Chains A and B, each alone.
Chain A
Amino acid sequence: MLTVVKNQMRVCALAVKYNIMREMLNKVTFLTNILFMIFNNATFIVQWVILLRLREDVGGYTMREVMLLWGLAASSFGLSHLLFSRVFSLPNLIISGKLDAYLVQPKNVLLSVMTSATSASAIGDFLYGVLVICIFCFSVKRLLLFLLFTVIAALIMTAFALLMGSLTFWFVRAEMFGNHMIGSAISFATYPDGIFKGIVRFLLYSVLPVGMAIYHPVHIMMVFDWRKFFAVLGYLVLLSVAAVFVFYRGLRRYSSSSLMESGRV
């Protein structure tokens, strides 16, 4: 069993390494992708600086919480796309029959698919988040918690994308629905939760994974709370189990395709 896991991890690590090597083929594009993503994210700081000069706080968030929020959203999004970018284009793989190449290999299909692509700009997102924490609200404990929650939030976002993408096994148009849901989650993740009330707030803490992936971790990093910590972990486990279950149920409906396209790239 241990050997199986070890071999699977070896293949996943090789896949991630080769993905990054592919992105690095053109070093100018690779570096500019990373740098411009950092600059792109940094422009939003200016908006918040102006806004928080006009008001003392927004939805209970001061500049420090806003930076934590942005940092965590960017880093977790980055890590998720760096390691598991293919999950976000799962509907395309399903529709065009590109899962065939993974199904004939003696490895876990899901892990093989997830680790089969990366995004260079995601490195910029990840670095941006770490830089923001180090510059605006550094403490060793907070940085360690930040890294832990970056991993947890990245896994939650990946599981959510997997769940949404797997719906394509049943409905082709689920691709659009899934993209909207993922887009909404990312957009909401950059605003303080205090400004949302009622049903929207309920949705952000249940259907959309923003509350558990971003808002609760931000609260915990400010004032540690074990109940919130376990709620986040519980949500991660539940969402992951649901996503993996739906993927494998859907895989039974996979109908492949004879499109003349590449099986992997």
Chain B
Amino acid sequence: MKAIEVEGLSKNFHVKHKEKGMRGSIRAIFHPQTEKICAVNNVSFGVEEGEILAFIGPNGAGKSTTIKMLTGILYPDNGRVEVLGIDPVRKRRQLAYQIGTVFGQKEQLWTHLTPYDNFHFFGAIYDLTNDAVEARIKELADIFELGEFINTPVRNLSLGQRIRCEIVASLIHKPKILFLDEPTIGLDPVVKENIRRLIKQMNRELHTTIFLTSHDIGDIEKLCKRIIIVNTGQIVLDDSMEHLKYHYLNKKIVEVKLQDEVKLPSMDGITIRKRKGGNVKFEVDTTVIKIADALHNIDTEYVEDINITNVPLENIIMEIYKAEGKVDGL
């Protein structure tokens, strides 16, 4: 069964446009001009129950706008949205009981309260009894390892601890779908890894559907089985991670360390990326030439070390962005 169904979703914003300088400011008073920005343009997709989906794209691609329309924060201009069979526009409050949200850039917790008090407040918001909240706090505190700081005011917590508490607060009412908007932003690698592990565990044990946006390729690679890439408000790719890798990872990077500098014969499908002394780095397009044939050109007697790797996923996604003609950064 589909947890999320989106059909022809569109959202435009009208942004004021002003010419530069004081003259432009004065002119804008008498002749205000607005520019129509198409944030989301005719987007359609579905998400299965229990799925972990990465919804990614460069800055300004329309990711957050889409999440905000799915959660009832923003009203779509066109299209149909159903989350767990509920229309977020008409039944926002009914939907809110079924979903959880974590916005990495916006905290929802009361900073002067302890996580424990915060969880009780969120429990009240979701009409839970005190006993139900207590039981849930115990369960989630174990999964997310909050024991050490559950009674420390949120303002005294580290960013990693705070994000864990944000996620727990958003799970207090056992949501069926969790929307995570850049949950690991600003976290160090160890904490990121912990958060990813906990999200995966939660998905496995509680069967929670995860809708994730992130600029961190690690989040996507380690958590998601399916990826949707958006750019300039449109979906440019909707594929499984496995298929994406299979389809796009037809290029291999070969790094060879040779005893002496050797000239490699130029061949179709081989592109030299870097050469310094006996160290050579080249890319092999396996659709043109087999990796074994490419290596035949190297005299193995002179080889000290060899390393064959896939093109990093980050580069693949960057290429997909570039193909659509807009990149602000990944």
Contacts and interface: CB of A to CB of B under 8 A. Distances in A.
B125 A103 contact: no
Contacts of B125: 11, 105-107
Given A10-B124, A256-B74, A104 B101 contact: yes
A55 interface: no
Given A104-B101, A107-B125, A263-B106, A22 B68 contact: no
A25 interface: yes
B138 interface: no
A258 to B, nearest CB: 6
Interface stretch (B89-97, B199-207, B214-222): B89-97
Contacts of B106: 97-98, 100-101, 261-263
Contacts of B68: 100, 256
A1 to B, nearest CB: 14
A104 B110 contact: no
B110 A106 contact: no
Contacts of B72: 103-104
The CB with the most chain A CB atoms within 10 A, among B65, B94, B106, is that of B106
A104 B13 contact: no
A230 to B, nearest CB: 34
A254 interface: yes
Contacts of B93: 106-107
Contact of B110 (A11, A105, A252, A264): A264
B71 A14 contact: no
A106 B93 CA distance: 4
Interface string A240-260: 000000000000101110101
Given A25-B112, A264-B107, A106 B126 contact: yes
A54 interface: no
B103 interface: yes
B234 to A, nearest CB: 19
Interface in A1-42: 7, 10-11, 14-15, 18, 21-22, 25
A25 B68 CA distance: 34
B28 to A, nearest CB: 12
Contacts of B78: none
B310 interface: no
Contacts of A7: 124, 127
A260 B111 CA distance: 16
B329 to A, nearest CB: 14
A11 B120 CA distance: 10
A223 interface: no
A46 interface: no
B71 A103 contact: yes
Nearest to A7: B127
Given A104-B99, A105-B125, A255 B108 contact: no
Given A103-B92, A104-B71, A107-B125, A22 B13 contact: no
B172 to A, nearest CB: 12
Contacts of B110: 18, 22, 264-265
Contacts of B94: 106
Contacts of B121: 11, 14-15, 18
Interface residues of B, number: 32
A105 B113 contact: no
B73 A106 contact: no
B64 interface: yes
A265 B127 CA distance: 23
B75 interface: yes
A265 B106 CA distance: 10
Nearest to A116: B110
Contacts of A264: 107-111
B74 A263 contact: no
B11 to A, nearest CB: 9
A22 B112 contact: yes
B107 A263 contact: yes
Given A18-B113, A104-B71, A255 B64 contact: no
Contacts of B124: 7, 10-11, 14
B105 interface: yes
Interface in B7-39: 13
Contact of B105 (A15, A25, A105, A258): A258
A14 B133 CA distance: 15
Nearest to B111: A265
Q: List the 3 closest A-B pairs by CB distance, nearest first.
A: A263-B106, A106-B96, A22-B112
10 contacts: A15-B121, A18-B121, A25-B112, A101-B108, A103-B92, A104-B96, A254-B74, A256-B68, A262-B106, A264-B108
Interface of A: 7, 10-11, 14-15, 18, 21-22, 25, 97-101, 103-107, 252, 254-256, 258, 260-265
Interface of B: 13, 64-65, 68, 71-75, 92-94, 96-97, 99, 101, 103, 105-113, 117, 121, 124-127
Given A258-B64, A263-B107, 15 more contacts: A7-B124, A15-B121, A22-B110, A22-B112, A100-B73, A103-B71, A103-B73, A104-B96, A104-B101, A105-B96, A254-B74, A256-B64, A256-B68, A264-B107, A264-B110
